Amino acid sequence: MSRKLFGTDGVRGRANSYPMTAEVALKLGAAAGRYFRRDGSAAHRVVIGKDTRLSGYMLENALTAGFTSTGMNVLLVGPVPTPAVGFLTRSMRADVGVMISASHNPHQDNGIKFFGPDGFKLSDEAEAEIEAALAGEIKLAQAENIGRAKRIEDGRGRYQEFVKTSFPTGLRLDGLKVVIDCANGAAYKAAPEVLWELGAEVIAIGVAPNGTNINDACGSTHTRTAAEAVVAHGAHVGIALDGDADRVMILDENGKVADGDQIMAMLAARWAEEGRLKGGTLVATVMSNLGLERFLQGRGLRLERTAVGDRYVVEAMRRGGWNLGGEQSGHIVMTDYATTGDGLLAGLQFLAEMVRTGQPASQLVRQFETVPQMLKNVRFAEGARPLDAAAVKAVIEANAARMQGKGRILIRKSGTEPLIRVMAECEDAGLLEEVVDEIVSAVLAAV
């Protein structure tokens, strides 16, 4: 069963344009409600969270109408990080969780992500069944069985208490000055409060959401703002989250950025020393740097690669029984604690290592030397298929041959935006640039 509406991370698009309209959200809520009420029993419930986008109000109301129309009771938790929805869905014994967010995208976009009763994102198969239900007639509840909606005022507080339990007992952040950039997004209250409660001196930025400034020149995809704050305030470390706080970038005391690969390397090495890294394996995507793979091999550990998308990382982790994974983009998944990437939780693990070792952030974020990597994006028109063009295929094949034994090439279509991502790794910087530019030029000629 194929999926057209769902991408690599739920349904996503420009707000008030298909598929991110109130009409589609209402139908999607009804279809998901019917899917999770297949046994016909009563007392079904759904947890709905959101980030700080203006369009979140519209989609929240539409989803609520859809779910209640099929007899589902809706628990509204308001602006919370994506991992909080996974946690609360399981904690509150709900049948399904929904996060309204387009993650690191600009405010004009929005998305709808579903979590199952175990707190994990739905499988491709479950999403395909929900999507198929949209094409048919959805059975609505009888008038007396329409669901109710209730706002849960302490959802964020429950999540904050849970996140703090991941921080080692007996350790505190006293004496650490921490910049936290919340991207004017979902963690704008939760993250600064957790850090302060653990003893840190907190410099909070990106904590004034107005509905349209989420991810705007701030957060994990625009780290310059956090870097400047770290240097200006003489902070020991910076933590930059994205709009829904499931990604993180760490900035050292000099404002230099460490991506997800460096964070995963630190955690994998530490956990392996403690005997906590299950199967001696780290799970990451095809985008992770070759330097990470070499770092792990040098310690007798292995890297399991997956397709791009934290959901695929998690699925591989669950299949293999592994407990640490993530993406170069900053999704860090620790299934001992959470069901999805959690930027705040990962940030706390980094801070704990600073406290435990007494080492500065600049030392901890340089776990390995990266192999030079270049990534360029090419935007294409809706409906275009540039990677199917014979000329593009020929250029990719020719350059793959040039890179044989020297590096690697990865060309893929983004699952969340109309972009072709052209990535290559090679220790020969000149060859690297030539290869990427040639492929980009071929794709541009075909769009």
Cβ(77)–Cβ(47) below 8 Å: yes
pLDDT band at residue 384 under the 50/70/90 scheme: confident
% of the chain with per-residue pLDDT over 70:
98
Does residue 428 sit in the same domain as residue 414?
Answer: yes
Q: Is residue 55 among the annotated active site residues?
A: no
Q: In the predicted model, is pLDDT for residue 123 greater than 90?
A: no
Per-residue confidence (pLDDT) for residue 130, from 0 to 100: 94
Quote the tokens at residue 31: 């279809």
Does residue 264 sit in the same domain as residue 355?
Answer: yes
Does residue 212 sit in the same domain as residue 82?
Answer: no
Distance in Å from the first CA to the final CA of the chain: 29
Per-residue confidence (pLDDT) for residue 9, from 0 to 100: 84
Per-residue confidence (pLDDT) for residue 417, from 0 to 100: 78
Does residue 272 sit in the same domain as residue 299?
Answer: yes
What's at 149, amino acid-wise?
A: A
Does residue 301 sit in the same domain as residue 220?
Answer: no
From 103, 220, 288, 329, the catalytic residue: 103
Residues 186-196: b if buried by 16+ CB within 10 A, e if exposed? bbbbbbbbbbe
| CATH of residue 407 | 3.30.310.50
Q: Which residues are registered as beta bridge partners of 178?
A: 202, 237
Does residue 16 sit in the same domain as residue 140?
Answer: yes
% of the chain with per-residue pLDDT over 90:
89
Can you spell out the DSSP letters for 221-278?
Answer: T-THHHHHHHHHHT-SEEEEE-TTSS-EEEE-TTS-EE-HHHHHHHHHHHHHHTT-SG
Does residue 90 sit in the same domain as residue 141?
Answer: yes
Does residue 106 sit in the same domain as residue 183?
Answer: no
Q: Is 4 part of any domain?
A: no
Last residue of a domain, one of 98, 121, 153: 153
| Of 35-39, 159-163, 406-410, the least confident | 35-39
Does residue 417 sit in the same domain as residue 289?
Answer: no
Cβ(218)–Cβ(239) below 8 Å: no
Q: Is 210 part of any domain?
A: yes
SS3 content of the chain, % helix, strand, coil (to 5): 40, 20, 40
> Which residues neighbour 104 within 8 Å (Cβ) at sequence distance 6 or greater?
183, 215, 219, 220, 221, 242, 243, 247, 329
Q: Is 362 helix (H, G, I), strand (E, B) or coil?
A: helix
Q: Which domain holds residue 420?
A: 373-446
| CATH of residue 353 | 3.40.120.10
Tens digit of each residue's pLDDT (9 = 90 or more) over 258-288: 999 999 999 999 999 999 999 999 999 999 9
- C-alpha to C-alpha distance for 289 and 221, rounded to whole angstroms: 18
* Domain total of the chain: 4
Residue 276, φ and ψ in degrees, nearest 5: -100, -15
Mean pLDDT over 72-100 rounds to 97
How would you class 171 by CB atoms within 10 Å of its CB: exposed for 0-12, middle for 13-18, buried for 19 or more? middle
